[in-house]
Amino acid sequence: MANTTTSLAPARATKEPEAGALVARGRKRRYTLLTRQDKILIALMVGVPLALDLILIWGPTLASVVLSFTNWQGIGAVTGKNFVGFKNYQFLFTGYTLFWPAFTHNLIWLAWLTFVATPLGMFFAVLLDRDMRGTRIYQSVFFLPVVLSLVVVGFIWELQYAPTDGFINNAFGLVKSGRLIDWLGNPHINLFAILVAASWRHVGYIMILYLAGLKSVDPSLREAARVDGATEVQTFFRVVLPVMAPINVIIVVVTAIEALRAFDIAFIINQGKNGLELLSILITNNSISEASLVGFGSAIAVILLLISLVPIVAFLSRVMRTLA
């Protein structure tokens, strides 16, 4: 995402000085359309974002790839002794019992957001788009969680889910009857418990994005559809949805990114263990914790990067195609 914006901006910027130069000097010198000043300006405008991009994004990325072949522990310099070849990857895929669970949890997260939370957000948006009474109140209510950081969302839901003094178990009388449901500690259900928490925020986010898109749909299209005898459902799927294509792409990308960067809530609940393992948390626990297995953590990060490349490339190729 960041790449596209940084590389697009200079591309557009170059056109303007070019045009100016054409008018001023174009006829005198065929081959250099740009003044020296223009060239410096262009070099700066392309160079600075490029340098920032290299330093802030590609530098650390490459460093992670290099570190993933070491057993560096984050203290002192990386020396030749630290390089261990593919050992980290080998252990990751064969011996590390948390990798595949974490990978699966990320996939479940993605599936949940894609098939439950995102459609629900779109559904709310469509409902609220019809000028029903109190639509602004509903909008505010659903949007409210979005302004909270996921860490805060995690805290809030931890209070709801806590087995003995949490709201849910008490509200349903489970504490009194002694049949506690361990929402946070049971590895079979705690992932879904926090997915509900994550959706609480995600639904509002998608809703507001989609609502903005819906507002921009030309009302005459719907009117035409109605005149032609289309039902509400037909109008939405055959007319509105195709018109919303750009927003749909954004929503798909947002959903994929949210699923890949899932971290905060699970980390707040129990530092991502006991059923809440996620790739991002494995990276953190291995490389940033007191343990500082930076090399091994980097190997997991490289895998996550490779996985992330799939939606990113898909998105970019689509954007490039529409631009071309």
Partner 1 sequence: MGDSREAKRVRNRLALPYAGAELPMNLDLSRRDILKIAGYGSLAAFIAACGGGGTSNNTGITATGGSMSLGSYNTDPNSKKGTDAIVSAFTAANGGTKVKVNTVDHGTFQNQISSYLQGTPEDAFTWFSGHRMRFFADKGLATPIDDVWDAVKSNYTEGFAASIKGNDGKAYAVPTDYYPWAVFYRKDVWSQHGYQVPTTWDALKALAAQMKKDGLIPIAFADKDGWPAQGTFDIINLRLNGYDFHTELLTGKQKWTDARVTAVYKKWSEITQYYSPAFAGLTWEQGADQLLRKQAGMYLLGLFVSDEFKASGSQADLDQLDFFPFPDLGTQYDAEKALDAPIDVFMLTSKSPTLKNDLGQAKAFLEFMAKGSTQVLYWQNAPGSIPTANDADTSTYPALTKKAVQIVSSAKRITQYFDRDSRPDFSGPNGMQGFLLKFLANPKQDTTSLQGQMQSYWDSLPPE
Applying CB under 8 A, what is the total number of residues that bind partner 1? 44
- Contact status: 173 vs partner 1 (CB under 8 A): no
Q: What letter represents residue 259's amino acid?
A: A
Closest C-alpha to 111, from 198, 237, 214: 198
- Contact status: 293 vs partner 1 (CB under 8 A): yes
- Sequence-distant (6+) residues with CB within 8 A of 94 are none
CA angle, residues 306, 295, 276, in degrees to nearest 5: 65
Residue from 61, 135, 292, 308 touching partner 1 (CB under 8 A): that is 292
CB of 110 to partner 1, least distance (A): 22
- Sequence-distant (6+) residues with CB within 8 A of 93 are 99
- Contact status: 65 vs partner 1 (CB under 8 A): no
Closest C-alpha to 45, from 76, 18, 69: 18
Residue from 31, 79, 173, 290 touching partner 1 (CB under 8 A): that is 290
Query: Token pair for residue 123?
Result: 């559904």
- Contact status: 151 vs partner 1 (CB under 8 A): no
- Contact status: 34 vs partner 1 (CB under 8 A): no
Q: What is the 3-state secondary structure (H, E, C) of 206-224?
A: HHHHHHHHHHCCCHHHHHH
- Contact status: 71 vs partner 1 (CB under 8 A): yes
- Sequence-distant (6+) residues with CB within 8 A of 90 are none
Question: Which span sits near partner 1 by CB under 8 A: 133-141, 179-187, 256-264, 316-324?
Answer: 179-187
Question: Which span sits near partner 1 by CB under 8 A: 120-128, 186-194, 206-214, 302-310?
Answer: 186-194
CB of 205 to partner 1, least distance (A): 27
Binding residues (CB under 8 A) for partner 1: these are 71, 73-76, 84, 91, 95-98, 161-165, 178, 180-187, 190, 269-274, 277, 282, 285-286, 288-293, 295-296
